[in-house]
Amino acid sequence: MTDSLLAGALSQCSGDRLRQLAVSDTGFVFDPQTGQSFTVNATGRLVLDCLKRSDGLEEAAQCLAEDCDVPLELALSSVEAFLMQLGRYL
Amino acid sequence: MPENSSPKRPKLAWEPPFIQPHRVGEINKFGRHRPREARVASVFGVDVELLKKNYGSPLFVTSEERLRANVRRIKKAFAVRWGNTCHGWSYKTNYISAVCNILHQEGSLAEVVSAFEYEKARALGVPGEMIIFNGPNKGRAILERAVAEGAQIHLDHLDELNLVEAVAAAQGRKARVALRLNFDTGYSEPWSRFGFNLESGQARQAAKLAAASPHLQLCGLHSHLGTFILEPRAYGEQVKIMCKFMREIESSEDVQIDVIDIGGGLPSMNALQSIYLPPEQVVPSINEYAEVICGTLIEETRYRSHTNRGLPKLVFESGRAVVDDAQVLITSVVGTKRLPDGRAAAVLDAGTNLLFTAYWYNHKVETTGEARGALADTVLFGPLCMNIDVVRQSVQLPPLRAGDSLVVSPVGAYNNSQWMQFIEYRPNVVLVHEDGDVSVIRAAEDLSVMMAQDRLPEHLATPFAPVRGAGCNRFDAEAEKQAKTLRPFRICRG
Ligand SMILES: Cc1ncc(COP(=O)(O)O)c(C=O)c1O
């Protein structure tokens, strides 16, 4: 992912916008601004939680790598892809 | 997060993070409703996990109660409108012996289309006179038996007409025959490859020949429009055309038609892939069909009251409408994956090897456990090494795990007959009796079933080096053991 794309995605789903999302334990996500709902898987929920706490992309990837015991690079590229996805929906 | 370099179990199973929007409000298989998880703990009153424990997975579960209720309901719909009616059970729809005998106990004739099906009906104890013998390939030997046993033979082509006549002549008998007709009702694609075509005059010619033969008794007319006919008026048109033809040949030939057989084709509550709306919204009730069919029959035979001819018996050969929802398939999740396009996927222990109808239906899929989270678009793959082995291309399911049970329905029609012996063994089929007892009605296959018909020529009796000096290897002992069970063999030693 190019830096500018990522920056765009990140800016769209950063801060308040993300904190507004209601995320349930079962992975049900509700966006009160649009009324749209989503399903997020367990790893996605973890990343959302990190991002909502205003952790940056790297910290979220670090969390993911540790909790799932996978290499940091793998976690990082997955979080980038996840952010692109979020950027499309929010 | 604290650093921890010592080996530990991951807190979370790895899967790339993923989010999927719910497409609320878009029309889907469930109409405009938001899809809701369909969950069941039992099928036909029996606990799914208990069935799995006792009989394995996958497992076909059949309901005697539902089967009897279905055929009674359909027969009643016709009988209250046209007294003289009879159901012919189309064996190919599901020829498990117990299923056939339940329907015979309910008074259904056997509708068979091959030597195998004819012999099966006889082996079950159905007398020849209660067999309708359809199909385009009836060999001489089986026709000799059918004529001798008084079966009603539905003629498909002129060569067959001549053959049946010759067989009956040789036996000094008069064979009871009906003409299978094909014609255009204007509603469904005509199945013009079966029987005699009406519009071209072929049917009239066949009627003339049959009527003139001292060895054939032309007693009926038959046609089968096709399958899953969603328009009751198609049957109205069919009955009208058949009655018109009956009247025509009865006035031109010395024949008396006492059976009008309208074939099968009534739909079941299954979801055809080509149809967007759910079956509850598109499948007319049996009474709507019966109304049109019997109403037309009454109208088109009214003239007979002024003649000395009686009213014909109405025979219908419904297959799927009778058995489809009387059987479900229990299958288990073997593993799960996330596809590159983000969709969830599961591999099941049952695929198109057992569910041939998955090629044209979107079967209902129900989960059995506790609620486990939001629904997501999921693909269900079967166990075959074939890309087209897909049970559902897209179904809303909660997150699945290996070992989960799924209940697929309805599956009673055309699976226990069209299933494939390919890659996997075919599993147990059980029947839930009316009193709730459960018994196996078709035992699961094992290696002996799969190899029973194989024959090994002597020189192929062993897989390795059957000829002295051709090279031996360490598998000889195993090969020797296996081959002993098949044939005498030669094997080279040391
Ligand atoms: C002659 C005949 N009768 C009856 C049937 C049963 O059809 P269905 O299961 O659609 O009722 C068939 C099926 O192809 C058939 O060919």
Mean pLDDT of B119-138: 98
Residue ending a domain, among B266, B296, B323, is: B323
Residues B349 and B442 occupy one common structural domain: yes
* Three-class SS state of A76: helix
Residues B204 and B319 occupy one common structural domain: yes
Q: Tell me what pLDDT residue B33 has.
A: 47
pLDDT in tens, B394-405: 999 999 999 999
Question: Which residues are paired to B62 by β-bridges?
Answer: B327, B431
| Encoded amino acid at B175, one letter | A
Residues B377 and B416 occupy one common structural domain: yes
Sign of CA dihedral B225, B228, B233, B236: positive
Of B12, B338, B374, the CB nearest to A46: B12
Q: Tell me what pLDDT residue B494 has.
A: 33
Ligand 1 contacts CB of residue B324 (under 6 A): no
Residues B157 and B240 occupy one common structural domain: yes
Residue ending a domain, among B273, B288, B323, is: B323
B245 close to B181: Cβ distance less than 8 angstroms: yes
For residue B135, give the CATH number of its domain: 3.20.20.10
Q: Tell me what pLDDT residue B490 has.
A: 44
- Measured between CA atoms, the residue of chain B closest to residue A26 is B373
B211 close to B253: Cβ distance less than 8 angstroms: yes
pLDDT-derived band of residue A2, with 50, 70 and 90 as boundaries?
Answer: very low
Look at residue B11 and tell me if it is in a domain.
Answer: no
Residue-wise DSSP of B86-142:
EEEEEGGG---HHHHHHHHHTTPEEEE-SHHHHHHHHHTT--GGGEEE-SS---HHH
Protein residue with least CA distance to atom 16, ligand 1? B224
| pLDDT greater at residue A42 or residue B370 | A42
How many Å lie between the centroid of ligand 1 and the Cα of residue B292?
19
Look at residue B26 and tell me if it is in a domain.
Answer: no
Look at residue B8 and tell me if it is in a domain.
Answer: no
> Does B482 score more than 70 pLDDT?
no
State the residue range of the domain holding B52.
42-61+325-448
| Encoded amino acid at B389, one letter | D
Residues B372 and B252 occupy one common structural domain: no
pLDDT-derived band of residue B475, with 50, 70 and 90 as boundaries?
Answer: low
pLDDT-derived band of residue B471, with 50, 70 and 90 as boundaries?
Answer: very low
Residues B384 and B471 occupy one common structural domain: no
Q: Tell me what pLDDT residue B369 has.
A: 84
- Total domains, chain B: 3
Beta strands at B175-182 and B152-155: parallel, antiparallel or unpaired: parallel
Look at residue B28 and tell me if it is in a domain.
Answer: no
> Does B481 score more than 80 pLDDT?
no
What is the Cα–Cα distance from B108 to B84, expressed in whole angstroms?
13
Per DSSP, B273 falls in state T
What is the Cα–Cα distance from B414 to B95, expressed in whole angstroms?
9
Residues B54 and B94 occupy one common structural domain: no
Residue B255: how many other CB atoms lie within 10 Å: 19
pLDDT in tens, B168-211: 999 999 999 999 999 999 988 888 899 999 999 999 999 999 99
For tokens 């239906």, the residue is B361
ipTM of the complex: 0.90
Residues B274 and B393 occupy one common structural domain: no
> Does B5 score more than 50 pLDDT?
no
> Does B1 score more than 50 pLDDT?
no
Of B222-236, B239-253, B275-289, minimum mean pLDDT range: B275-289
User: Could you tell me which residues come within 8 angstroms of residue B306 by beta carbon, excluding any fewer than 6 positions away?
Assistant: none
Ligand 1 contacts CB of residue B213 (under 6 A): no
Look at residue B267 and tell me if it is in a domain.
Answer: yes
Residues B264 and B394 occupy one common structural domain: no
The alpha carbon of residue B343 is apart from the nearest alpha carbon of chain A, in Å, by 11
Strands (E), B297-437: 313-316, 327-338, 344-348, 364-367, 376-381, 390-397, 405-409, 429-432
A57 close to A83: Cβ distance less than 8 angstroms: yes
- Please report the atom of ligand 1 found closest to the CA of residue B135: 1
- Please report the atom of ligand 1 found closest to the CA of residue B266: 11
Percent of chain B with pLDDT over 70: 89
Residues B196 and B264 occupy one common structural domain: yes
pTM score: 0.80
Of B226-235, B423-432, B481-490, minimum mean pLDDT range: B481-490
Of B1, B10, B374, the CB nearest to A27: B374
The alpha carbon of residue A17 is apart from the nearest alpha carbon of chain B, in Å, by 16
| Sheet order of strands, A28-30 included | A22-23, A28-30, A37-40, B19-21
Q: Which residues of A touch B (CB under 8 A)?
A: 26-29, 36-44, 46-48, 62-64, 66-70, 78-79, 81-82, 85-86, 89
Look at residue B397 and tell me if it is in a domain.
Answer: yes
pLDDT in tens, B11-68: 888 888 888 887 654 544 444 445 567 789 999 999 999 999 999 999 999 999 999 9
What is the Cα–Cα distance from B366 to B379, expressed in whole angstroms?
14
Q: Tell me what pLDDT residue B31 has.
A: 45
* Three-class SS state of B327: strand
> Does B308 score more than 50 pLDDT?
yes
Residues B491 and B395 occupy one common structural domain: no
What is the Cα–Cα distance from B264 to B319, expressed in whole angstroms?
6
pLDDT-derived band of residue B3, with 50, 70 and 90 as boundaries?
Answer: very low
Tokens of B361: 């239906």
Q: Is B107 left (phi over 0), alpha (psi -120 to 50) or beta?
A: left
Residues B400 and B260 occupy one common structural domain: no
> Does A5 score more than 50 pLDDT?
no
* Three-class SS state of A78: helix
Q: B105: exposed, middle or buried (C-beta count within 10 Å: 0-12, 13-18, 19+)?
A: exposed
> Does A65 score more than 90 pLDDT?
yes
Mean pLDDT of A58-68: 92
CA distances from residue B485 to B456, B462, B478 in whole angstroms, order as listed: 11, 11, 12
Of A28, A69, A78, the CB nearest to B17: A78
Look at residue B222 and tell me if it is in a domain.
Answer: yes
Residue ending a domain, among B290, B323, B356, is: B323
Question: Across chain B, what does the average pLDDT equal?
Answer: 91
Q: A69: exposed, middle or buried (C-beta count within 10 Å: 0-12, 13-18, 19+)?
A: middle
Look at residue B369 and tell me if it is in a domain.
Answer: yes
